[in-house]
């Protein structure tokens, strides 16, 4: 499977990655902060070296934020699979099986708290530091962490404050999907407020700078996208709570990874689970996608070469009469848009796709 970036370490057994898009972050920070350093300190080309150091300090802040999420997630019993720092800041992927409003809130709140602690440490350092370069870097570091701590607490998904709002509504309504839906709409409101803030100079008779508007649009777009995904997830959750697995499950075939593409009767099922004897399912093949495989290669290509490798935990035991909540929880935990359904002997009997839950359920295709 493709990794999310360069692996730079391990935290409590969890791999930590630096996303390839972070290089763009460093370039943008150097381009924006370098002229500021030059204007204040007059260091010439060295101003951009100082700006690069600031970018690295911000990376430390992101990693501290995500490390707090990861460690508390482990503490409350979640299985954390990776920590990533990238263009959008960072994210911590964890299996939230057994989540409660309290546990979810605990994981959410510690990220901004970590940035608050870093801001406090920076403020304390300012009182003892000598040297213009060091003081400028620490001052910028302090302000950046203070801003991240406060902004992340704004109650709207995908911000950490949005997860706190989700947990609150979840606790009051007794249903997580309702909390997700409410926090998603709150996130859209936050995105619009960010745009209005960006346009504030216009209302005051001025003109907003290009840099200001670019940052505002990027942040607002990020918030709107995350909020929209949260709203969709909330609606899927409502659907999953009332739809039986048997009503949305698609029939599947089972094929070994070493089988040849040409020897597999693809027309017998729309989806095929890749599973070796005595092993858990590891991949999925959409029969309709095989048209991209040249005829001359089908006689020699193994199924493993055309299968989509699925994450660990994507296959679970479920009965037709169960509601689809568990399948949705598995999707959240794995990040996959499909769940393989197993019987009591761990044999695949069907699959649930996230699109089917989004549409409110559909009659399952039968073999």
CA dist list (Å): 178 to 34, 244, 337, 361: 45, 19, 21, 18
φ/ψ region of 360 (left if φ > 0, alpha if ψ in -120 to 50, else beta) reads left
Q: What angle do helix axes 176-198 and 210-242 make, rounded to 10 degrees? A: 170
> CA 258 to CA 300: how far, in whole Å?
10
Q: Three-state DSSP class for 66? A: helix
- Give the pair of three-digit tokens for residue 150: 């406060």
> CA 36 to CA 50: how far, in whole Å?
10
Order of strands, sheet of 308-309, starting from the edge strand that comes earlier in the sequence? 252-255, 271-274, 283-286, 308-309
Alpha helical stretches, state H, the chain? 22-41, 46-75, 101-126, 132-152, 160-173, 176-198, 200-203, 210-242, 245-248, 295-298, 325-334, 354-358
Catalytic site residue from 66, 295, 297, 312: 66
φ/ψ region of 42 (left if φ > 0, alpha if ψ in -120 to 50, else beta) reads left
How crowded is residue 359: how many other Cβ atoms within 10 Å of its Cβ? Answer: 12
Radius of gyration of the chain (CA): 24
**On the CB side of 131, how many CA atoms lie within 13 Å of its CA?**
6
- Give the pair of three-digit tokens for residue 74: 């482990």
Q: Indicate if 66 belongs to the active site.
A: yes
CA dist list (Å): 90 to 36, 70, 259, 330: 26, 12, 40, 22
In eight-state DSSP terms, residue 311 is P
Close Cβ partners of 1 (under 8 Å, ≥ 6 residues apart):
309, 311
CA dist list (Å): 240 to 78, 182, 212, 243, 307: 22, 17, 42, 5, 27
Instruction: Give catalytic residues, as residue numbers.
Output: 66
């Amino acid at each position: 499977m493709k990794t999310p970036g360069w692996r730079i370490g391990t935290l409590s057994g969890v791999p930590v990655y630096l996303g390839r898009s972070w290089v763009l972050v460093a370039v943008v920070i150097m381009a924006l902060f370098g002229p500021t350093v030059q204007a204040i300190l007059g260091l010439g080309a060295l101003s951009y070296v100082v700006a690069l150091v600031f970018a690295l300090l911000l990376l430390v802040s992101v990693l501290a934020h995500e490390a707090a999420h990861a460690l508390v997630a482990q503490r409350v019993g979640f299985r954390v699979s990776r920590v990533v720092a990238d263009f959008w800041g960072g994210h911590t992927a964890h299996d939230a099986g057994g989540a409660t409003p309290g546990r979810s809130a605990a994981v959410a709140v510690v990220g901004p708290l970590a940035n608050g602690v870093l801001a406090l440490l920076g403020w304390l350092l300012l009182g003892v530091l000598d040297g213009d370069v060091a003081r400028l870097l620490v001052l910028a570091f302090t302000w950046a962490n203070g801003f991240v701590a406060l902004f992340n607490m704004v109650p709207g998904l995908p911000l950490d404050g949005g997860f706190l709002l989700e947990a609150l509504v979840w606790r009051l309504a007794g249903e997580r999907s309702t909390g997700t839906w409410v926090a998603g709409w709150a996130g859209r409101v936050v995105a619009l407020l960010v745009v209005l803030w960006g346009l504030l100079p216009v209302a005051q008779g001025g003109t907003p700078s290009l840099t200001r508007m670019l940052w505002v649009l990027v942040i607002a777009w990020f918030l709107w996208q995350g909020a929209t995904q949260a709203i969709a997830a909330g609606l899927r959750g409502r659907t999953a709570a009332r739809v039986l697995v048997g009503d949305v499950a698609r029939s599947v075939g089972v094929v070994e990874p070493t089988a040849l593409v040409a020897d597999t009767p693809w027309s017998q099922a729309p989806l095929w689970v890749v599973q070796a004897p005595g092993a858990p399912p590891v991949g999925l093949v959409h029969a309709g996608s095989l048209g991209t495989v040249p005829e001359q290669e089908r006689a020699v290509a193994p199924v493993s070469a055309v299968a989509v490798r699925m994450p660990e935990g994507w296959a679970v035991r479920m009965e037709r009469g169960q509601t689809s909540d568990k399948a949705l929880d598995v999707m959240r935990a794995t990040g996959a848009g499909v769940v393989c359904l197993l019987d009591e002997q761990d044999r695949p009997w069907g699959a649930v796709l996230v699109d089917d839950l989004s549409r409110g359920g559909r009659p399952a295709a039968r073999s």
